[in-house]
Amino acid sequence: MRKRLMVSMLLIGLALPMSHSFAKEEASCKDLEKMFGTEVEVEDGVCKLEITRKDLNVVHMGKKLSPETMELVFHIAFEPVDGQTAVMGEMALLEEEVNPVIDAFRKGNIEVSAVHNHMIHERPRVMYLHFQGIGDMKQQANVVKNAIEQTSYK
C-alpha cells in the first residue's frame, strides 16, 4: 500500500510541472493570436499559425486556383526550447516582396534558410522563403510580424 502511494505521488509530481508548462505555452499562444489577429493551434506545446494570402491573384497553368490549393500562406511555428523559443516558418511571396522580407528578418536576427519556388507556370511568380531563429518569443513574433508587413498582405 505504501509503495502504491509513493508511486502515485511521484506520478502526480511529474504531471504537475507538465500541466503548468502546458498552461504557460497555451497562454503564450494566446498572446500570438492577439498579435497576429488569427487563430493559433497548439500541438504538443508548439504554437502554429497559418495565414492564407487571399490578397494574391495568382493564375497557375492558365487557371485561377484557390490560395489553399496553391499553398499561398504564411506558416509560422513557435516552440519553447531550453528556456527560449525556436521559430520556423515559410512565406509565400511575390518576387518584389522577397528582398524587403529578407531585410526585415536580417534586422531582427532571424535567419533566412531558403528561397525557392514550388511551382512553374504561375503568374505572377511566387517564391517561398523559409526562416528560423531561437530567442525571445515576443521579440521573434514582432520580427515575423514586421516581415509580413513588408508584403501586400493586409
pTM score: 0.83
- State residue 24's pLDDT score: 54
What pLDDT shows up at residue 34?
Answer: 95
Q: How many C-beta neighbours within 10 Å does residue 30 have?
A: 13
Q: Give DSSP secondary structure letters for 22-50.
A: HHHHHHHHHHHHHHHTS--EEETTEEEEE
Question: All domains of the chain, ordered by start, with CATH?
Answer: 2-149 (3.30.1460)
pLDDT given at position 25:
56
Per-residue pLDDT of the chain (154 residues; tens, 9 = 90+): 555 544 444 444 444 444 334 445 567 899 999 999 999 999 999 999 999 999 999 999 999 999 999 999 999 999 999 999 999 999 999 999 999 999 999 999 999 999 999 999 999 999 999 999 999 999 999 999 999 999 999 8
The answer to whether 129 touches 115, Cβ cutoff 8 Å, is yes
